[in-house]
Chains A and B, each alone.
Chain A
Amino acid sequence: QAPAPGKASDDVVKIGVLTDMSGVYADYGGPGAVTAAKMAIEDFGGKMFGKTIEIVSADHQNKADVAKNVTQQWFDRDKVDATFENLNSAVAIAVQGLGKEKNKITVVTGAASSKLTNEECSPNSGIHYLMDTIALGNVVGKAIVKDGGDTWFFLTADYAFGHSLEKDTGDVVKAAGGKVLGAVRHPLSTSDFSSFLLQAQSSKAKIVGLANAGLDTVNSIKAASEFGITKNQNLAALLMLITDVHSVGLNTAQGLYLTEGWYWDMNPETRAWAKRYEERMKKKPNSNHAAVYSSVMHYLNAVKAAGTDDTAAVLKKMKETPINDMFAKGGKIREDGRMVHDMYLFQVKTPAESKAPWDYYKLKGTVKGDDAFQSLAMSRCAALKK
């Protein structure tokens, strides 16, 4: 029984923002993500079909089972129509899986696992909005090799995520004519990277690729600077966030290459939005916050256009409509749920170059969305093959 046009299934449009409020990624998502979502609702006008748009948020503590529990209650009892953010890949996969089962829209921004549009894909309910590991490798790999960094050594976190990041990037490097000299695998959450870096150093590779994330990346960068590795070699962080750069400090991070989907200081539009955000949060937004804003706005527009909050109808609208806002230009949501948009290669400024707080990056290159993300033909998404 399709709901009458112009009316939400249960009278209200209600969205959920599930994020890490207190853990490792709290700066990346956290309260900032909730604020971004609220900004989107306000900018939209706050009402849909005459009723106030509602928003709920929760902390998943980076635990997939907490995330699943909360989302399940949202869907089952609290009549939430769509969830956003869903940072951290375990959480993202769990939530997307649940969305598939319950037929509710789930939009992932913060997590980078490419499984979301491959093995674990859910073309009829899930959207992966920001970057994924394949794009990260693609951008860094291609751009750096082009820039002359043609010999690589990887410092890889020893678990599935690290392995795939290493492999994907390695393939890109080789395809671009570069060489991979070797790799060393370090355990997850290592506090001391010096001995791995010594191995990287003796490889004499021009680029040391950091196929790890979070604290591991931060600690490797610190150790690299301490051991003087950055004098002769360049570091390329495959997944590094602006908050990580902030905590390492420019002194240590300067010269580092990294990929991002968005940066606050790219154009007047981004700066304007960042300013509004900063007024509320007293901090600069990062790419994830911008993506949450953009995705919520896109969702609301689609509901309005579809005249219903019915999942299939809304999703269809979301995929039909291109995304043109401060976050992305000409972005489009593909059949497999992948939101394709341009990606950027940045280099971290030296302390001298940085004029203001959070003035950290210089743009080194832009990679078109279709080149950055995995092509649909390569996708391992089983549901698409049918």
Chain B
Amino acid sequence: MTEIFGVPIQSLMGQLMIGLVNGSFYAMLSLGLAVIFGMLNVVNFAHGAFYMMGAFFSWLLLKHFEVNYWWSLLLAPLGVATVGVVVEKTMLRWLYQLDHLYGLLLTFGLALIIEGFFRDQYGVSGQPYDLPDIFKGAFDLGFMMLPKYRAWVIVACLSVCLATWFVIERTRLGSYLRAGTENPKLVQAFGINVPLMVTLTYAFGVGLAGLAGVLAAPVYQVNPLMGSNIIIVVFAVVVIGGMGSILGAVVTGLALGLIEGLTKVFYPEASATVVFIIMAIVLLIRPAGLFGREK
């Protein structure tokens, strides 16, 4: 068996594959953050909470209404997006004139509220969400068993990310979004319904988080803390990639998933910190982030 630094190459491939799955979640979450940040200039601290909410919605749908996974995949993100609409219309809306920091603070408060609520209702120990039947089992890739569901997660995340990228960079709606990002008042004065666009953007961004949550539900525990655990890492990912570009968010997310996967093999002790260490290094050599645009 060929080995790299004492690790069989095949198990290394397996680890990379798993890294890619984690990377897909990072990518999808940082993409949502980037989209929201772009349009609203708000760093959505509640993103993790919405991700958790997505997972919970699908669990609740299954438990109370016997809605299956596929419908959840559609309904749960819609539900999350609806909450997003309410949040945007009743709260965030009042902050656009102010320093961006207030958006961060508000969403931080929201994250606490949402997390506290779910903790109170469903406890902290987590709820099980079974794999849908067609995803039971694994592909035998020869060197490893790739669980079917994980493969699906990679495919689903990547397609969603690509679609989002296409819409924003290549369509007319996208150019409204980008222009609105810079000077919403002016864009509105040109005849575009900016308030609606902003609401929908926020809804879309948190909907993405919700979707990630549904995808994560069968893999991880459906747990009120799952959001706050992941969100800080995603922030680091965003700093590394720079929020300047959609593609940057996706690529960085995937790459960091891979790197984290490798660390787990070669030096597992550091796997919790590796992302932050990379962030520090990137800050030293490219303060604006790998894909960031300097203002």
A and B associate in one complex: yes
Instruction: Verify A249–B128 contact, CB threshold 8 A.
Output: yes
Contact between B138 and A228, CB atoms less than 8 A apart: yes
- Which residue of A199, A214, A226 contacts B219 across the interface (Cβ within 8 Å)? A226
Asked if A22 meets B272 with Cβ closer than 8 Å, knowing A198-B14, A226-B131, the reply is no
Interface range, A side:
35 or more
Query: Which one, B11, B225, B271, contacts A215 given CB within 8 A?
Result: B225
Q: Is the CB of B223 within 8 A of A215?
A: yes
Q: Is the CB of B123 within 8 A of A27?
A: yes
CB <8 Å contact, B268 and A215: no
B149 and A188 form a contact (CB under 8 A): no
The interface residues of chain B lying within 8 Å CB-to-CB of A198 are: 11, 14-15, 18, 144
Q: Does A148 contact B (CB under 8 A)?
A: no
Q: How far is the CA of A218 from the CA of B225 in the complex (A)?
A: 14
Partner of B229, one of A23, A191, A218, A228: A191
Cβ of A218 and Cβ of B125 under 8 Å apart? yes
What is the total number of residues of chain B having a CB less than 8 Å from a CB of chain A?
Answer: 40
B144 to chain A, nearest CB (A): 7
Q: Are B220 and A219 in contact (CB under 8 A)?
A: yes
Distance between Cα atoms of A198 and B14 in the complex (Å): 8
**Count of chain A to chain B residue pairs whose CB atoms are closer than 8 Å in the complex:** 103
**B-contact 0/1 string along A184-218, CB 8 Å cutoff:** 11111111101110110010000000000011001
B14-52: CB near A (< 8 Å → 1, else 0) gives 110011011000000000000000000000000000000
CB neighbours (8 Å) of B124 from chain A are 22-27, 215
Greatest chain A CB density within 10 A among B18, B21, B120, B125 is at B125
Interface string of B120-133 (1 = CB under 8 A from A): 10011111101100
Question: Residue A158 at the B interface, CB < 8 A?
Answer: yes
A186 touches B125 (CB 8 A): no
A247 on the interface (CB 8 Å rule)? yes
Select from chain B the residue with minimum beta-carbon distance to A28.
B125
Bound state CA distance, A25 and B265, in angstroms?
31
- In the complex, whether B82 has a CB less than 8 A from a CB of chain A is no
Closest B residue by C-beta to A223: B219
Chain A 314-350 residues near chain B, CB threshold 8 A: none
A192-B18, A215-B221, A247-B125 known; A202 vs B8 contact (CB < 8 Å):
yes
Residue B209 lies at the interface, judged by CB distance under 8 Å to chain A: no
Q: Is residue A251 contacting chain B, with contact meaning CB distance below 8 A?
A: yes
Q: Is B282 an interface residue (CB 8 A)?
A: no
Does the CB pair A186–B271 fall under 8 Å? yes
Which residues in A have their C-beta under 8 angstroms from that of B225?
24, 215
Q: Is B186 interfacial (CB 8 A cutoff)?
A: no
Q: Does B272 lie within 8 Å of A188, measured CB to CB?
A: yes
> Distance (Å) between the CB of B132 and the closest chain A CB?
13
Footprint of B on A, CB under 8 Å?
22-27, 158, 184-192, 194-196, 198-199, 202, 214-215, 218-219, 222-223, 226-228, 243-244, 246-249, 251-252
